[in-house]
Amino acid sequence: MSVHTPIYLDYSATTPTDPRVAEAMIPYLTQHYGNPASRSHPFGWTAEKAVENAREEVAKLVNADPREIVWTSGATESNNLAIKGAANFYSGKGKHIVTIQTEHKAVIDTVRELERVGFEATYLAPESNGLVDLEKFRAALRPDTVLASVMLVNNEIGVIQDIEAIGNICREQGVIFHVDAAQATGKVAIDLEKLPVDLMSFSAHKTYGPKGIGALYVRRKPRIRLEAQMHGGGHERGLRSGTLATHQIVGMGEAFRIAREEMELENARIRRLRDRLLAGLQDIEEVYVNGDIKQRVPHNLNISFNYVEGESLIMAVKDIAVSSGSACTSASLEPSYVLRALGRSDELAHSSIRFTIGRFTTEEEIDYTIDLMRKKIGKLRELSPLWEMYQDGIDLNSVQWAAH
């Protein structure tokens, strides 16, 4: 069987909408279901019913009460609402926030914004495997710590944090605990009845749902209160105003229903594919897996190819759609802050590739990818003076480079 290129191995950036999800959405796009806030005519009623069904599906996946689910325009908004909303509401308790250096930008930049308006923040470094050390976390909490935010699954390296243990520490200290679970739904089981988590952010488009819709879990018992960030018609019990996109909500509900029903089988299949990819790449010389390989979702393989420059690597692998360890700013390549927080050198961060596997990935695609990577890495190393020096036994750290 031949493969169709480019091969999509960037499921953590976004997932294709599942055809079943698209099918569920279309009626709400083509027929008149109206504005769910319009209570006075039946168009509005139908929309409201669909919205509440979807809310139930989202709640079911994470074992929460539907009344604990607030719709947002996506995980970025959920993170902003949770962090700013809780920090501002409870600022009487204190103005210190603890988070992790490897959080998503939507968390880091939101905490930065709070720092700008008078909060203090601790950005805890993870261990070199990407996981949070519980004792270091405990030590980072202060009497005036109001909120901690730790992601469940990291978007770049796929490691799974021990949310239960971290949450228990927060409970002991009376700290509100927010978890960004955008990358986790459909990949790890989440039981909010048991987890000591107060606020949790979700995204639809990372779980085969549509873009532009997300949700925030807001615990009812004990009740967590938030200062609204989007003001207006008072939708979502005043927590999030703005006309809800019925078709997108319906899509998220359907996507989360499918995730709940198929997660187990799907993860087993994806794990086999990931292990096959890892086996095909790890015997190349001088490759490094980034992040703990065990406490990690099966969908993710993040790997650095030493002595290969990042941008040329991206050019070389244009037949596969992947993310690389460098964010392209207009003038320069910034190495991934996540990999740097693990203590990786800039060069290794630049030369990393994140492969993320998903529902529609095939074994043929994995084999093609292995073959392509082996060829291209070989070619680029053939071109690399650093590889030549390494093979000649020269320690690159002993070389005096003329910085330019």
Partner 1 sequence: MAYSDKVLDHYENPRNVGTLDKNDPHVGTGMVGAPACGDVMKLQIKVNDDGIIEDAKFKTYGCGSAIASSSLVTEWLKGKSLDQAAQIKNSAIVEELALPPVKIHCSVLAEDAIKAALADLKAKQTPAVAAA
Partner 2 sequence: MNSAVYLDHNGTTLLDPRVLQAMMPYLSEQHGNATSRHVFGRGARQAIDHARGQVADAVGAHPSQVIFTAGGTEADNLAICGIPATRPNGQIAMSAIEHPAVTRPAFAMRSRGHRVAVIAVDHVGRVEKNHLDAILEKPTALVSVMLANNETGVIQDIAGIAETTRRHGAFMHTDAVQGLGKIKLDFTALNVHAMSLSAHKINGPQGAGALVLDKRVDIQPLLHGGGQEKGLRSGTENVAAIVGFGAACELIRHELVQRTGAVRQLRDQLELGLKALGAHIFGAASSNERLPNTSFFAFPEIEGETLVMALDRKGFAVASGSACSSDSTEPSHVLLAMGVEPELARGAVRVSFGAGNSRQQLVAFLQVLENELQRLKRLTAVAV
- Rounded Cα distance between 70 and 307, Å, is 47
Query: Two tokens at 354?
Result: 């994140």
Q: Which stretch binds partner 2 (CB under 8 A): 71-79, 120-128, 134-142, 290-298?
A: 71-79
Q: Binder to partner 1 among 117, 268, 279, 328 (CB under 8 A)?
A: 328
Query: Two tokens at 65?
Result: 């009460």
Do 313 and 351 contact (CB within 8 A), yes or no? yes
Q: Binder to partner 2 among 51, 106, 259, 338 (CB under 8 A)?
A: 106
DSSP 18: P
In the block, tokens 């929309």 appear at 47
| DSSP reduced 3-state for 138 | helix
DSSP 118: T
Q: Is 11 in the site for partner 1 (CB under 8 A)?
A: no
Longest dimension (CA), the chain: 79
Q: Is 170 a catalytic residue?
A: no
- Rounded Cα distance between 265 and 365, Å, is 19
Within residues 296-315, the interface with partner 2 by CB under 8 A covers 314
Q: Which stretch binds partner 2 (CB under 8 A): 52-60, 119-127, 236-244, 302-310?
A: 236-244
Q: Binder to partner 2 among 1, 19, 221, 404 (CB under 8 A)?
A: 19
Q: Is 225 in the site for partner 2 (CB under 8 A)?
A: no
Q: Which stretch binds partner 1 (CB under 8 A): 163-171, 218-226, 292-300, 344-352?
A: 344-352
Query: Two tokens at 200?
Result: 């949790």
| DSSP per residue, 311-326 | HHHHHHTTTEE-EESE
Q: Is 67 in the site for partner 2 (CB under 8 A)?
A: no
Q: Is 394 in the site for partner 1 (CB under 8 A)?
A: no
Q: Binder to partner 1 among 193, 283, 382, 395 (CB under 8 A)?
A: 382
Q: Which CB, 256 or 307, lies closer to partner 1? A: 307
Q: Is 118 in the site for partner 2 (CB under 8 A)?
A: no
Q: Which long-range contacts (CB under 8 A, 24 or more apart) does 281-286 make?
A: 281/370, 281/373, 281/374, 284/373, 284/374, 284/377, 286/390
Q: Binder to partner 1 among 157, 176, 215, 308 (CB under 8 A)?
A: 308
The residue from 26, 328, 383, 396 that is catalytic is 328
Q: Is 334 in the site for partner 1 (CB under 8 A)?
A: no
DSSP 210: -
Do 160 and 142 contact (CB within 8 A), yes or no? no
Residues of the shown chain interacting with partner 2 in the complex, contacts defined by CB under 8 A:
6, 8, 10, 13-17, 19, 22, 25, 29-32, 34-35, 37-44, 46, 73-77, 79-80, 104-107, 109-110, 112-113, 203, 205, 210-213, 228-235, 241-248, 314, 318, 321-324, 328
